[in-house]
């Protein structure tokens, strides 16, 4: 499965110019999806996620819990039941508690070459921008404030790998589909 990234369609070229990143080219090449309007349209993304769930064998979806309460109603409107949402979606914190094991899992699959990157340019950009921050207790997380650009793809990948690896000690899950939001 290829990672899916969304940006607003309106102002994409301007955002590309300001960030000095070829978002418009990546969109034309199929590496970046756009949503209607000037901001990420949750309704549109929810429809896309439901379509993915209907065509793929998705077991779990890791999701940043901070804004999930705003996304959940759109999933319901797009056709998911409360039960299906509760069964599929795993809310994931962005603090040291949840991200420390996620960063460790990400490092493991990267160092052991157990993940296929596919030369995806958006994920490559996120990886190049990612900076790990530590705390006094030895916890670690990816830090947006210290990063030079967008890192959302790496954060989502760390979350997805962590959710997928729960109960799978061999980390043999890398050939199974993952949805990373």
- Locate the DSSP E strands across 2-159: 6-8, 33-35, 61-64, 89-92, 132-134, 140-142
* pLDDT of amino acid 70: 93
CA 63 – CA 67 distance, rounded (Å): 9
Domain regions of the chain by residue span: 6-180
Q: CB count, 10 Å around CB of 14?
A: 11
Is CATH 3.30.310 what the domain over 6-180 is classified as, yes or no?
Answer: no
Over residues 6-43, the pLDDT tens digits come to: 999 999 999 999 999 999 999 999 999 999 999 999 99
What is the reported pLDDT for 97?
A: 94
**CA-to-CA separations, 161 to 28, 42, 82, 107, 171, in angstroms, rounded:** 28, 23, 24, 10, 9
Note the pLDDT of residue 1.
62
Beta bridge partners of 173: none
Please say whether the beta carbons of 36 and 9 come within 8 A: yes
What pLDDT does residue 3 have? 86
16 DSSP β-pair partners: none
Q: How far apart are CA 176 and CA 18, in angstroms?
A: 37
The angle, 0 to 180 degrees and rounded to 10, between the axes of the packed helices 42-55 and 68-77 is 60
pLDDT < 70: residue spans in the chain: 1, 167-181
- Confirm if 122 and 153 have CB atoms less than 8 A apart: yes
Instruction: Give the pLDDT of residue 180.
Output: 43
Cα 127 to Cα 33: distance, rounded to the nearest angstrom: 19
Q: Among 66, 64, 112, 59, which residue's Cα sits nearest to residue 88? A: 59
Q: Which pLDDT belongs to residue 166?
A: 78
Looking at residue 129, what is its pLDDT? 93
pLDDT digits 0-9 by tens, 152-165: 999 999 999 999 88
């Amino acid at each position: 499965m290829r990672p899916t990234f969304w940006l607003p369609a309106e102002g994409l070229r301007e955002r590309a110019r300001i960030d000095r990143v070829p978002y418009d080219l990546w969109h034309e090449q199929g590496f970046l999806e756009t949503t209607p309007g000037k901001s990420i349209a949750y309704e549109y993304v929810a429809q896309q996620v439901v379509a993915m769930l209907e065509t793929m064998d998705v077991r779990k979806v890791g999701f940043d819990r901070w804004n999930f309460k705003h996304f959940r109603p759109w999933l319901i409107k797009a056709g998911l039941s409360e039960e299906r949402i509760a069964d599929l979606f795993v809310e994931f914190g962005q603090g040291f508690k949840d991200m420390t094991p996620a960063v460790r899992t990400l490092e493991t699959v990267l160092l052991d070459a157990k993940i296929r990157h596919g030369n995806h340019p958006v994920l490559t950009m996120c990886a190049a921008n990612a900076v790990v921050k530590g705390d006094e207790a030895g916890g670690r997380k990816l830090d947006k404030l210290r990063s030079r650009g967008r890192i959302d793809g790496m954060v989502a990948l760390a979350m997805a790998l962590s959710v997928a690896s729960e109960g799978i000690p061999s980390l043999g899950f890398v050939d199974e589909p993952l949805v990373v939001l």
